[in-house]
Structure 1
Amino acid sequence: MASHKETAQQVVEKIGGAKNVNQAWHCVTRLRFNLNDKDKVEIEEIKKINGVMGAQFSGDQFQVIIGNHVSDVFAEVEPLVGGAVSGDGEKSGQKQSVVSLVMDFISGIFTPILPALAGAGLLKGFLALFTTVGWLTTESDTYMVLNAIGDSVFYFLPFSLAVSTARKMRTNEYLALIVAGTLMYPSLIEAFNAIEGGGPDTLDFLGLGIINIPLLNYDTSVIPVILSVILLKYVYDLVKKVMPSAIQLMFAPMIAFLIVLPLSLWLIGPLGTNIGNFVSDIFNWLFEFSGLFAGLLLAGFMPLIIMTGMHYAFAPIAITSLATLGYDNMVMPMMLISNAAQAGAALGVAVISKNRQMKQLGLSSGISAAIGITEPAMYGVNMKLKKPFVLALVSAGILGAIAGWYGLKAYTMSGIIGIFALPVFADPAGESVSLIVSIVLFALAIVLPFILVLIFRFKDIEEDTTASTQPKEEVAKAKETTTEATGKEIMVQSPLKGTIVPLAEVSDQTFSQEIMGKGIAIEPEEDRVVAPIAGTIMVFPESQHAIGLKGDHGEEILIHIGIDTVSLKGEHFNGLIKEGDRVEVGQPLVEFDREAIRQKEIETVTMIVVTNTAEYLDVLPINADGPIFEGEHLLSLVK
């Protein structure tokens, strides 16, 4: 598997380079790009990059599916594309459709605040759970403190949205915060609350009786602050354009405020509130009219919606529903069931697949999907095998129909919908039925596709032991060369489990420049090294960090665990052999503590080098990168 840095470099190169990136950001599993020229994208080549699960255009937004390590890869993308991340890139010259623009805009606003929504929502869910089982009372001081922590993100949501919208619009974030602060100003909220006591429901701005500002409560609101910040961006830019630069610092913000904020309170805020309520009412009506049918469609087709990246468009609907009704019976219940169904199908693959890599991926991605991150299971397992994906859709549709018919509700927001989000289905009133139903449906959503996969099975992928970045013809040609030269092939097996790293990428030049000889490196995933060949231990220093073997066919192999590990003087290593010992293939040689070594900021990448390379026509790695298991064919020595 390639390093995150290498993956990032290849992705940026294949999308046309940094100059082609207008804007870049990421969500839970994907890199997302707005590009200046989408014709420069080498999409098929990007799909072949190690660490990439898939790539696609959603409208005019380009998405690269990475999976659980997306934030690590994006951290390497960010310095490569520079200003495009913060919004200083050039404007795209390509015209986007209205739908593409809206979807792109919404996802760009909501993805940065997902961690806050996920953390706070989960805390509120646990609070509801604790009150349901009687561990806390709503009158206790502990509840008051924890509720303030969990509720603050939602109550002050306009501030978070103001910042993320400003970043998306490439305008000053601190000016945007003033917009949110005005909408949320305490005296305006107090005036709104006083309406029930007979107070006025409007404010007469300027005292002319013309501009009557409706009093509304904008806490937890979504659309009003977004529309207001958009207006702020254009007004502020226009003011700066016509104003002398010498007085811009003070007067440009003031004039922008005087234009934008009264308009926001008078027109934009009420308009945004009405739009949000209207859209939410439509979906609520659909579920009230036929929850069974709506649940069937939304849960069944949710993976297809996720594939396009359009699921973020549901975030404002869920938030508005929570603010106005106190619950969400659409988005989160259906995503919970859909995500669990993808998990169940992937786990079914893990049980019956005979492909070792697919079994491992099915297990890991199934667990990930159960937590709420489905792309690894969808792209890496279920869609690749086709039938498990279809069975997951069918299962989700059936159970989504049941959830819609019952009226399953989430009572707070959660950024990632999976097993740890179950507490958000606990009714704050203390009723336990909703929570129990959500747990039962979640479990069924895993079990049903799991059983269906076991029953209907699928066409398994044959294990490819010669997979590499080299074309298969080249591998075959290399083997032909071996046969022509000697009539046999000397094989070196992998001494440990991990991910392959090309020797040229190792930071120690002694190895990367092949001074010691040709070979390969592996980043270990387990804490032991076994014999890759049958032979004799020729070198085993007191530091125990390296082993030199001489094989029965004359091959000389050096296994060097880590870089500069000699400085540890044997600490964290446990040798199981000594010089002169005879060893067989697969026999354990050394045990070591990876984490302890890494905590000392020492690399654990392990080099396997043929030190008598000069005696061979060539030393060929079977796999140039990707996962490798202990005992797999690692190197071929051409005599």
Structure 2
Amino acid sequence: MMSNQKIAQEVFEQVGGEKNIANATHCATRLRLNLKDNQQVDLKALDQIDGVIKAQLSNGQLQVVLGGKVNDVYEEFMNLLGGSTNERSSTVEKKKFSFGLLIETISGIFSPVLPVLIGCGMIQALNAVLVNFKLIDVESGLYQILQMTGDLIFYFLPFFLAVSAARKFKTSEYLAIALAAAFMYPTIMNGAMNAAETGIKSIDLLGLPVLFVNYKSTVFPIIFSVWVLSYLYRFIEKKTPEAFRILISPLLTLVIMIPLQLIVLGPAGSYLGNYIAVGVNYIYTAGGFLGAFLLGALRPVLVMFGMHYAITPIMVQELAETGITIILPALLVGNLAQSGAAFATGFLIKDKAQKSGAFTSAFTALCGITEPAMYGYNLKYKKPFYVALAAAGISAAYLSIFHAYSTAVALPGILALPTYHADNYIHIIIGVLIAIIGAFVGTLVIGIKQEPEQQAEVSKEISEKIYSPVNGKMQLLETVKDDVFSQKLMGDGVAFISNDGKIYAPISGEITMLFDTHHAIGIRSESGIEILIHVGLDTINLKGAGFNPQVKVGDKVTNQQLLLTFDQEAIIEKGYDPIIPLVITNHSEFKDIRKKMNGTDLSVQTGDWIIEIEN
């Protein structure tokens, strides 16, 4: 298994390196990257990285699905970036407003907050379990501390969103926190709580009313305010002489922003949140079980496009306004149905390694993380995915009939069941069973089979030779001092040491990849053989120095055509290993890969065939 550092390094290379990364963040399962040029990304190459479940572009954002290891990979990825991407943001092309951009913005703001949001929600679920089983008393100190911990992010949500919104809108995090503090200041909060009793609903500011609004758990007021802050602060900084910026910029910004947000932006955002909460309830009331069916069935589709986090602020706002969320039960059964389908797929798969992976991913989905099960197995075989959609829709419709809801925004999995309620709790149990057992039995009945296009591709008769790309020595791939190559994580192949610093085409085909530092070249033959030639180890750090490509991506090349020249002595002088791995990245699609020369340090010339591929 590739280490987290290696995964981060491979992703870093495939997305175009530091120069192409405008912003990097992550959610519970995905590395989310805003790139300057999406055309540089080879999604298929990213998919082939061991540890990457799926890579996709959604709403202009690259999403690399990693599952539970995303935190560790993100940390390694940020080390490669030097810890921050803010200084590169000014060169990013401004995007026109669109629905996709709105979804990407909301996701980008909520993604960094999700670990705390999920953690607090799960603590609320734990507290509910302890109380339901009479293990603790609601008057006990333990209950109160757990309840306080579980409510932290929901009460102080404006502070959390202020930081992530400031990062998203590229403005001062500390000024954003100051705006959140103004919303949560006791004068405003106490005034809102006592308004019904005192009849005082606002205070006067130069003839303008500052409304008392309870901003606890609100979403849109702070997001609107930080968005406006990003433009105002940038404008003031630009117009203020550099010598006075430290004094004038924050002063003017706060003097303008605090009244503006308390008089206009805050109330407007609060009203918007109220209307959304009312709207969601209306849709569920008017649409009934049909609306619930659609949400439950389409939840995995939203996950596929990375749009499911756009629902989070709606649930949070709904919870803040009504104390419950009627959306979450549909999301719960959407996850559980994917789990049931993956469990059935595991029973149907004959390969032991694949069977084990299916069961593991099914258990992960049962706990609320569906990407490994969905991308790794259900979508792969298609039918389990469709069965899961149907089971989830039926289950969500059933739960809506009996008025199911949740009292906490916890990860929608089996561990959070104590936070779900209905007319009678038995209906929650029945809904869960419909989702899991329905998807499980349905998948067993319908069965699985390999996708037709995959079968066609594998069934092609291929007998093709690959020739040496260098004049020099050939070695076994196992001798390469890099686990990615020696353990054949990227594919099977061989390795070389060049005598003359030249790389030739080992086969006729098309150049599919040329990394911007020119140390790696990908080529695909007409018959579908995909080859990666990687010149040296860790030579990405040379940033292209000494590498001179003779081709570009999209070029058609013939066998033994010169592809690249490189300064081998410079590579050695810089302390890097000059070995050149050649790997067949889609080797698993072929029946046999026969190497003509199986020894070490054997002399080869361009024109000597080294590998023969057969199906």
TM over 0.5: yes
Q: Deviation digits for residues 54-84 of structure 1, max 9, x if unmatched? A: 2222121121222222222222221233465
Map 1:35-114; keep pairs closer than 5 Å.
35-82=35-82, 85-86=85-86, 88-93=88-93, 95-114=95-114
Paired residues of 2:203 and 2:209 also in contact (CA < 8 A) = yes
- Partner of residue 523, structure 1: none
Question: In the aligned structure 1, how far is the partner of 2:596 from the partner of 2:390?
Answer: 46
Map 1:107-126; keep pairs closer than 5 Å.
107-126=107-126
Paired residues of 1:345 and 1:391 also in contact (CA < 8 A) = yes
Map 1:278-293; keep pairs closer than 5 Å.
278-293=275-290
> In the alignment, which of 337, 340, 343 is matched to residue 344 of structure 1?
340
The structure-2 alpha-carbon separation of the partners of 1:40 and 1:422, relative to structure 1 and needing over 3 Å to count, comes to same
Paired residues of 2:404 and 2:421 also in contact (CA < 8 A) = no
Query: Which stretches in structure 1 are left out of the alignment for 5+ residues?
Result: 465-470, 481-500, 513-517, 521-619, 627-632
> In the alignment, which of 418, 421, 441 is matched to residue 423 of structure 1?
418
* Partner amino acid, structure 2, of 1:456: I
Question: In the aligned structure 2, how far is the partner of 1:621 from the partner of 1:81?
Answer: 28
Paired residues of 1:30 and 1:65 also in contact (CA < 8 A) = yes
The structure-2 alpha-carbon separation of the partners of 1:212 and 1:419, relative to structure 1 and needing over 3 Å to count, comes to same
Paired residues of 1:125 and 1:426 also in contact (CA < 8 A) = no
- Partner of residue 428, structure 2: 438
Deviates more, 1:272-281 or 1:382-391: 272-281
- Partner of residue 458, structure 1: 448
Deviation at 1:109, TM superposition (A): 1.0
Question: In the aligned structure 1, how far is the partner of 2:185 from the partner of 2:241?
Answer: 32
Deviation at 1:443, TM superposition (A): 3.3
> In the alignment, which of 216, 224, 227 is matched to residue 224 of structure 2?
227
Paired residues of 1:355 and 1:460 also in contact (CA < 8 A) = no
How high is the TM-score relative to the length of structure 2? Answer: 0.74
The structure-2 alpha-carbon separation of the partners of 1:261 and 1:448, relative to structure 1 and needing over 3 Å to count, comes to same
SS of the equivalent of 2:32 reads strand
The structure-2 alpha-carbon separation of the partners of 1:258 and 1:31, relative to structure 1 and needing over 3 Å to count, comes to same
* Partner amino acid, structure 2, of 1:349: T
* Partner amino acid, structure 2, of 1:334: A
Deviates more, 1:85-94 or 1:248-257: 85-94
- Partner of residue 581, structure 1: none
> In the alignment, which of 356, 359, 375 is matched to residue 355 of structure 2?
359
Q: Deviation digits for residues 132-153 of structure 1, max 9, x if unmatched? A: 3433333333322222221122
* Partner amino acid, structure 2, of 1:382: N
Paired residues of 1:19 and 1:81 also in contact (CA < 8 A) = no
How high is the TM-score relative to the length of structure 1? Answer: 0.71
Question: In the aligned structure 2, how far is the partner of 1:502 from the partner of 1:27?
Answer: 36
Deviation at 1:4, TM superposition (A): 2.5
Question: In the aligned structure 2, how far is the partner of 1:286 from the partner of 1:386?
Answer: 30
* Partner amino acid, structure 1, of 2:292: G
* Partner amino acid, structure 1, of 2:145: V
Question: In the aligned structure 2, how far is the partner of 1:193 from the partner of 1:304?
Answer: 41
Paired residues of 1:60 and 1:96 also in contact (CA < 8 A) = no
Paired residues of 1:23 and 1:87 also in contact (CA < 8 A) = no
Q: Deviation digits for residues 185-231 of structure 1, max 9, x if unmatched? A: 0122112222112332111102xx2x111111101111001111111
* Partner amino acid, structure 2, of 1:381: Y
Map 1:121-160; keep pairs closer than 5 Å.
121-160=121-160
SS of the equivalent of 2:25 reads strand
The structure-2 alpha-carbon separation of the partners of 1:58 and 1:275, relative to structure 1 and needing over 3 Å to count, comes to same
Deviation at 1:437, TM superposition (A): 3.2
- Partner of residue 261, structure 2: 264
Q: Which has the larger radius of gyration?
A: 1
Question: In the aligned structure 2, how far is the partner of 1:3 from the partner of 1:519?
Answer: 22
Map 1:18-37; keep pairs closer than 5 Å.
18-37=18-37
- Partner of residue 326, structure 1: 323
- Partner of residue 379, structure 1: 375
Q: Deviation digits for residues 136-183 of structure 1, max 9, x if unmatched? A: 333333322222221122111111111111111222211111111110
Deviation at 1:354, TM superposition (A): 1.3
Paired residues of 1:171 and 1:233 also in contact (CA < 8 A) = yes
- Partner of residue 249, structure 1: 246
* Partner amino acid, structure 2, of 1:504: V
SS of the equivalent of 1:89 reads helix
The reply to whether residue 504 of structure 1 matches residue 494 of structure 2 is no
Query: Which stretches in structure 2 are left out of the alignment for 5+ residues?
Result: 455-459, 468-476, 488-492, 496-581, 600-615
* Partner amino acid, structure 1, of 2:419: V
RMSD: 3.5
Question: In the aligned structure 2, how far is the partner of 1:139 from the partner of 1:450?
Answer: 42
**Matched residues, percent identical?**
35
SS of the equivalent of 2:314 reads helix
The reply to whether residue 448 of structure 1 matches residue 438 of structure 2 is yes
Deviation at 1:393, TM superposition (A): 0.7
Q: Deviation digits for residues 488-520 of structure 1, max 9, x if unmatched? A: xxxxxxxxxxxxx9552458xxx99xxxxx999
Paired residues of 1:161 and 1:222 also in contact (CA < 8 A) = yes
Deviates more, 1:115-124 or 1:6-15: 6-15
Deviation at 1:89, TM superposition (A): 3.2
- Partner of residue 389, structure 2: 393
